[in-house]
Structures are given as structure tokens and as C-alpha cells.
Amino acid sequence: MKVIAINSSPKMGEGNTALVLNPFVEGMREAGAEVELFYTKKLKINPCHGDYNCWFKTPGKCFQKDDMEMVISRMADADVWVFATPIFVDGMSGPMKNFLDRLIPLILPFYRLNDGHCRHPRGEGTKSGKIVLVSNCGFWEIDNFDPLLAHMKAIAKNFDREFAGALLRPHGTAIRRLIKGNIPIDDIFDAAK
Ligand SMILES: Cc1cc2nc3c(=O)[nH]c(=O)nc-3n(C[C@H](O)[C@H](O)[C@H](O)COP(=O)(O)O)c2cc1C
């Protein structure tokens, strides 16, 4: 099973998102999955120009020459997409949204009914598969993830993929302090794994 994980925290491997994502990646690898992890901050990904060239002029291909060329071919071939983002202003981080906008070459400029809802079909070269959301936020309450969760479920429908579930950690800002204070919180990481 091929998995592509995208971590969009500006703090990359040093962030709280990584504290939740990394054991999950480890667990997938131990279970035999081939996992590639990308940080949006390390990639040069320009914003979508919104001109639909990737649908009508050069179907399936964006005209922009940046790192998305390399990542999108891996996304097309992956069984599972893992989107990891901190909550920024009640939703996903800007770089994550920028990344997702650039995925539209993978879907077709046609409409079809999906569960009674108008959606785009997947392009021929793109595998069917699943989407997993990984997130953490500053506030305590789990409902701080509700807007992001609803958004990610809609994205799964739009990209013709199954929403497999979410790994969510509220009060992510406390994790490092708890580790420093030798408070036993390995159960969080074990659960993620
Ligand atoms: C610009 C910005 C906006 C944020 N907005 C929210 C928010 O709306 N709700 C919330 O619970 N936490 C919010 N946070 C807190 C982050 O989600 C939290 O610090 C998280 O642990 C950051 O993850 P990271 O270390 O991987 O970047 C915000 C943080 C920043 C920097």
C-alpha cells in the first residue's frame, strides 16, 4: 500500500502536528505500508492560477513548473493521502489549502452525481483511494476541529476518494510541556501509532 503524507505545519518536524503524525507514519510503516512524507514548507508550490489550463488546454497537467509536478504524480499513484495540518484560524493552514488547490489536475472537468451530490469524476491515471486527516489545535475542545472535518469530508467527495477518518489532538500546544514535565503521555503516541 502506498501512502503519501503531507505535513503543512510551518514548524515541520519540530511542530505539534509532527508529534501526532510521526507515530501514525511509524505505525503505517510497521504495518507494511510504503509511506512518503513531504513538508509543504520544503516544497516550492505556487498558488493555483484558476485558469483551468489543466482541464482544457493540457488535460491533467498544470502549466506551472514547480515541485507540484513531482508530488502530483506520486499522489495519483497513492492508495492513501494523509493530510496533516495544525488548526489555523478555525481551519487548515494556508500552505495546505494551497497544496489542495493544485490537485485539481487529478479530477475531470465533468459532473456526475455522487451520493446525490454533483461532483467531479477522478482522472483515468489516478488510483481510487482514501483520505486521512491528522490535526492538532491550541484550544481544549474537540469541536474546534468541526469546520476542518466538514471541509476534509467534502474534499474527499470532490476527489472521489473515501474519507477514512481523522486523528485529532486538541490542546496540542500542551504536549511538549507535558513531555518536559515528565508527565506520562505515551498513550497519546501509542494511540496514534
Ligand atoms: C495563525 C495561527 C492561528 C491559529 N488558530 C487557531 C484556532 O483557530 N484554533 C485553535 O484551537 N488553535 C489555533 N492555533 C494554535 C495552533 O493550532 C497550535 O499552536 C498548534 O499546536 C500548532 O501546530 P504546529 O506546532 O504543528 O504548527 C493557531 C495558531 C496560529 C499560529
Q: How far apart, in Å, are the Cα atoms of 142 and each of 108, 170, 179, 184?
A: 35, 6, 21, 21
Burial (CB count within 10 angstroms: exposed 0-12, middle 13-18, buried 19+), residue 161: buried
Q: How far apart are CA 107 and CA 109, in angstroms?
A: 7
The neighbouring-strand residues paired with 34 are 2
pLDDT at 116 > cutoff 90: no
Distance separating alpha carbons of residues 20 and 8, to the nearest angstrom: 13
Residue 57: phi, psi to the nearest 5? -95, -50
**Could you tell me the pTM of the whole model?**
0.97
Cα(137) to ligand 1 centroid in Å equals 5
What single-letter DSSP state applies at residue 43?
S
| Closest ligand 1 atom to 18 CA | 26
Give me ligand 1 centre to Cα 19, in Å.
14
Reported as a single tens digit per residue, the pLDDT across 82-106 is 999 999 999 999 999 999 999 999 9
Give the percent of the chain with pLDDT over 90.
95
Alpha-carbon span 187 to 72, nearest angstrom? 35
Angle ∠(116,120,126) on CA atoms, nearest 5:
125
Domains and CATH numbers, the chain: 2-192 (3.40.50.360)
Cβ < 6 A, ligand 1 pocket = 9-11, 15-17, 86-90, 136-139, 144, 172-173
Mutate which of 22, 88, 149 for ligand 1 pocket (most atoms within 8 A of beta carbon): 88
pLDDT in tens, 130-173: 999 999 999 999 999 999 999 999 999 999 999 999 999 999 99
